[in-house]
Chain A
Amino acid sequence: MEKKIAVYICTGCGIGDALDMEKLTEVVNEEGSAAICKTHGNLCGQEGLELIKKDMADEGVNTIVVAACSPRVLYDVFDFENCIVDRVNLREQVVWSHKPGDEDTQMMAEDYVRMGLAKANAMELPEPFKPEQEFSRDILVVGGGLTGMTAALEAAKAGASVVLVEKEPELGGFQKKVKQIATFPYKDLQDNPLDELIKAVTENEKIKVYTGAQVEKTVGGPGVFQVTIRQNGSSAEHAIGAIVMAAGWVPYDPEKLDDRLGFGASPNVITNTMFEDNYTGAKVTRPSDGKEVNNVAFLQCAGQRDPEHLPYCSTVCCVTALKQALQIKGQNPDANVFVVYKEMRTLGQAEDLYRKAQETGIIFIRSQDPEVKAEGDKLAVETLDEVLGESVLLEDLDMVVLATGMVPATAFGPDVAQEEKEAEGEEKKEEEELEVPLDVIRRSNILNLDYRQGPEPPALKYDFPDSHFICFPYETRRTGIYAAGCVRRPMGIASVKEDAAGAVMKAIQCIELTSRGAAVHPRAGDLTYPEFEMKRCTQCKRCTVECPFGAINEDEEANPLPQPTRCRRCGVCMGACPERIISFKNYSVPIIGDMIKSIEVPEEDEEKPRILVLACENDAYPALDMAGINRMTYNAWIRVIPLRCLGSMNLVWIADTLSRGIDGVLLLGCQHGDDYQCHFIKGSELADIRLSKVSETLDRLALESERVRFETVSIIDYPKLPALLDEFAATIDEIGPNPFKGW
């Protein structure tokens, strides 16, 4: 496509007052690549847009630079079909955050316009990815418990065809054996309506159910999954669009509990799930002799919220204990029922059930470490009542029920990373490379993905296959695979239903976007995707290892086999590739390189240092905008380039920057580590690791290491940004000018 570039500079929102528009237009004209340069008082208004459209129609303009407000606003307004558009942020990051009419402010605006032009010159119009295989819109639900069945029905209701795979011979999962449930509105116990659900699922024509079956293999990616299901020795193949993973949970193994909880010391010490197994709706009896129970103690948090066992709260066992205690009280109102708890976690309206339990006379004792005393058939619990500060004794108990917790089905099986380490043996250790810590991926035999990084979605914490609890609910770190229900996090019935519906909605979204060649969350709608110039690939495996979403497979010769429908367009592979062969149509190593090169570097004696800021587009860049919106001012030596993710930062940019005489580089990314904020999970961490290798470059150029710095910024940190930028500028000023200036 022959480019015809036009630059439109808006003079509204204070831009025209703060900057010398004539000089700015001159910059465009001098630079020479743009055929048209116009200013307008209100570019986003009807008239402004007409102006652009008219040039497109009459003059054949097909590449536009809009120098106006932040690209984060009005993106839907400055959207022209079949036209390359780049936005130059003159408003939030220039005139709203710097002194009006100032020389430095003017220079800043001019540089940004040059950078915009450089980008417009280098980028291309994206062409959406169209897979070769036939596209499927069917949804696979793995797990036929309450979550899975709810998900299947929700998907069917939304018009999708569903394949439901359950490993047990019957549908129902854990809930199958549960007689009564305690759920919204928590006024009373309810009969479990599960059988109706099973019926609805089995009778639904859009749902194909496999029971006693397993997913043997999952190949491909969203829209083009090929799933092999094994049932009774035979296999079936299905083309699948997206997957809901509802594999559920298993109870924590009570054998592992501390001895003081008494499991195994008496048959009358049981767990909450054993209670469910035994409860038939008839009388609750003592396991040892079948006598009706009269005195029962429930011990909460058995091996839960305990770093030695399950460090987390399973959230349902408090309500379950209330339910079971009420069941005992229901059969015998004179029964003595005790609940020994750390904290009663009855969230939301579940508090009503707690009230009800109290009113029936169930006795609650707050205590951290109850001890079960079993001697012969005598059973007692001794515990320090925290409220009284006194030790109390519950005697003559018929039964003790331990509240054990939920372990996700993904927590079992060997960890792939460990396996690899063992296989590699000693030799690898010597290298002592600064490696990205590998994800925990267990062979839990749920999806059996044919992915290079491992057969299941990676775990985030405690073996739950989550990606980011708050920002991206339902999302695993594998595109098109959505976790729901207790495999995602421990939850009760009410949340499970919501979860099932939510995950299905994400699956449908994914199918829809993928069918248009667009990315899913967090770059939803992005039509670009990474393209590999395979001729120059050295099979170094950096991209296949570092891709946070496992989107790239490998052939036998270690050639990367990208699967674009699995890709989230973060650009981490692009940052990782030492050969720089991975690029997007509008985002590549050369494009950013050109932008850096277009920055004018004043001579040393002008005493105007330059600082390049590479800012994560998701948090740091919006934070800079926020600073501008709040009219906070900061140093005008900086030039900001937004990155899709800091993980897409290629070290060559740092080398380029410094060898051009720019005095410092500041990387602004999200927090990483345990409480990471990175939208692409490991991007900022990878950037930080890569940066640790930059010292070689700096040494080679004989530059001070303080010239390059990494800072974590979240969007709410914007009030601190100006100080941070000013301080870095001061440091750079102190170090003195980059000796490469003018080379």
Chain B
Amino acid sequence: MSTKVNPNLMRELEEFGLKDANKCFHCGNCTAICPLSTEENPFPRKLVKYAQLGLEEKILQSAEPWLCYYCGDCSDRCPRGADPGETMMVMRRFLTSKYDWTGFARRFYTSETFEIIAVAIVGILVGLALWIFHADNPNMEHAALNSVWPAPAIEIGDLIMAAILTFFLLSNTWRCVKFVMGDLLKKVPLEIYATEAKELIIHFITQKRFGECTDRMQWIVHLLIMTGYSTAFLLVAVFLAGGIELVGLAWEPIRFQRDVIYPFFHPMRIFGYYATFAILYGTTYALIGRIKKSKAPYKSTHGTDWMFLILLQLTTLTGIFIHFCRLLDWAMATYVIYVIHLMFAIPMLVLEVPFSKWAHLAYRPVVIYLTRVKEKYYEMQKGTA
């Protein structure tokens, strides 16, 4: 069966930031130079062609966009200035919006105004909620957050947020799985899924594919942001819950965000410092790179890229301020900054994680995992045939 060509897809992709893909004259240099492209999954030329010909179905089934880590080698070598690396990035945005059933992701990617307004609304709502639901007699002598917002309340809020976030993220990831696997989803025996699960975890933690790229700095920056973020995420989403007295799950030594001030070498503090340093370093490097357009992956920056970096950095900075204010025991300052901190952090978590750039945190390892699963499956097929 021939696939129908749809020239209009290019116009649609332009809304996701596609600019130069039409310049590609199919020489294949990019695929040849890409350190991650393989014989079974060659890219990025294939995806550039899909874009040109508007083969939407093919794009939806493609795993390749998630196999690319945007080192930019291909864009540097393209003789036509077609910026294939950026096309891969656009594909990821496009796919994120396709995986998302709510339509939010699409609005995010195609309208900067929408994105800003959405973030602002959630931020303001968070601020209002904190304003309204604070305790009646906060401790103004000493900086004690729990005296303003009691731990159980925060925990409940946290749980609600985590539930929303998880629901959207998982439902979107499931759609991603269905697109990528297609008919194979049910054909592949469970044991393959199970044995390959290890890969999923390894990839998530080490980003080791990215390490194969020639520009190691990109990998390091990516790893810093990723691990920093994950650490913070764990602290907030899990260890904060570690103090969930409500359901009797409290485990005193590792509570996060309590009015106790841990000793310097307490793991909670060390983790916190690492997360802060990693995120701050990574985002600052990326922000400066994007402002200066220092290398191919930083040449074209989409609204969502800015939003991602800015929210992350503001969250981190405000987090640092809270920390110092608490150490200095400045009560009012601590409370105010805490509100601001959450006004950045929460929109980032509920909006960016399931609907925008952050979603790749889930999609990429999952798709790499599925690619492995598929490969194993085909190997098995060949073996039995």
- Contact across chains for A393 and B26 when beta carbons are under 8 A apart: no
**Proximity string of chain B (78-103) to chain A, C-beta cutoff 8 Å, 1 when within and 0 when not:** 00100000000000000000000000
Chain B, range 142-187, C-beta contacts under 8 Å to A: none
Q: CB < 8 Å: which of B2, B22, B23, B28 contacts A393? A: B2
Separation of A205 and B298 alpha carbons in the complex (Å) = 65
Contacts of A385 in B (CB 8 A): 49, 53
A470 at the interface (CB under 8 A from B): no
Q: A358-B25, A385-B49, A385-B53 are in contact. Are A391 and B3 (CB under 8 A)?
A: yes
Output the residue of A365, A390, A391 with the most chain B CB within 10 A.
A390
Closest chain A CB from B83 CB (angstroms): 13
Binds A, one of B4-12, B112-120, B238-246, B263-271: B4-12
| A394 proximity list for chain B (CB < 8 A) | 5
Task: Mark out the residues of chain A between 239 and 297 whose CB falls within 8 Å of any chain B CB in the assembled complex.
Answer: none
Of B5, B23, B45, the most chain A CB neighbours within 10 A belong to B5
Binary flags per residue of A378-397, CB closer than 8 Å to B gives 1, else 0:
00001001011011111100
Q: Is the CB of B7 within 8 A of A392?
A: no
Is the pair A392, B2 in contact by a Cβ cutoff of 8 Å? yes
CA separation between A99 and B45, bound complex, in Å?
63
Residues of A within 8 A of B7 (CB): 336, 338, 361, 363
A342 lies within 8 A of chain B by Cβ: no
Task: Determine whether A217 belongs to the interface, using a CB cutoff of 8 Å to chain B.
Answer: no
The list of the 10 closest CB pairs from A to B, nearest first, reads A393-B2, A391-B2, A336-B7, A387-B26, A393-B4, A358-B22, A382-B2, A392-B5, A394-B5, A358-B23
Inter-chain contacts of A392 with B (CB < 8 A): 2-5, 53, 55
Q: Does B46 contact A (CB under 8 A)?
A: yes
Q: Which of A355, A359, A387, A393 contacts B49 (CB 8 A)?
A: A387
Minimum CB–CB distance from A504 to chain B (whole Å) comes to: 38
Q: Do B5 and A359 touch across chains, with their CB atoms under 8 A apart?
A: no
A710 at the interface (CB under 8 A from B): no
B356: Cβ under 8 A from any A Cβ: no
Indicate if the CB atoms of A390 and B10 lie closer than 8 Å.
no
> B54 — nearest CB in chain A belongs to which residue?
A363
Taking Cβ atoms with an 8 Å cutoff, the residues of A that contact B are: 336, 338, 344, 354-355, 358-359, 361, 363-366, 382, 385, 387-388, 390-395
Contacts A359-B23, A366-B26 given; indicate if A390 touches B5 (C-beta within 8 A): no
A369 → B minimal CB distance (Å): 13
Does B283 sit at the interface, judged by CB under 8 A? no
B75 interfacial by beta-carbon distance below 8 Å? no
B contact residues, range: 20 to 34
Chain B interface residues toward A at CB < 8 A: 1-5, 7, 10, 22-26, 28, 45-46, 49-50, 52-53, 55, 80
Chain B, residue nearest A357 (CB): B22
Chain B minimum-CB-distance residue to A393: B2
Which residues does chain A contribute within 8 Å of B53, judged by CB atoms?
A: 363, 365, 385, 388, 392
**Known interface pairs A344-B25, A355-B80, A366-B26. Does A361 touch B5 (Cβ–Cβ under 8 Å)?**
no
* Most chain A CB within a 10 A radius of its CB, from B10, B24, B28, B49: B49
Q: A394 vs B52: C-alpha distance in the bound complex, in angstroms?
A: 13
Closest to B28 in A: A387
The answer on a CB contact under 8 Å between A363 and B5 is yes
- B49 proximity list for chain A (CB < 8 A): 385, 387-388
Q: In the bound complex, what is the Cα–Cα distance between A422 and B7 (angstroms)?
A: 58
Q: Hey, which chain A residues are within 8 Å of B50, CB to CB?
A: 388
Tell me the bound Cα distance from A2 to B55 in angstroms.
91
- List residues of chain B with CB within 8 A of the CB of A364: 25-26, 52
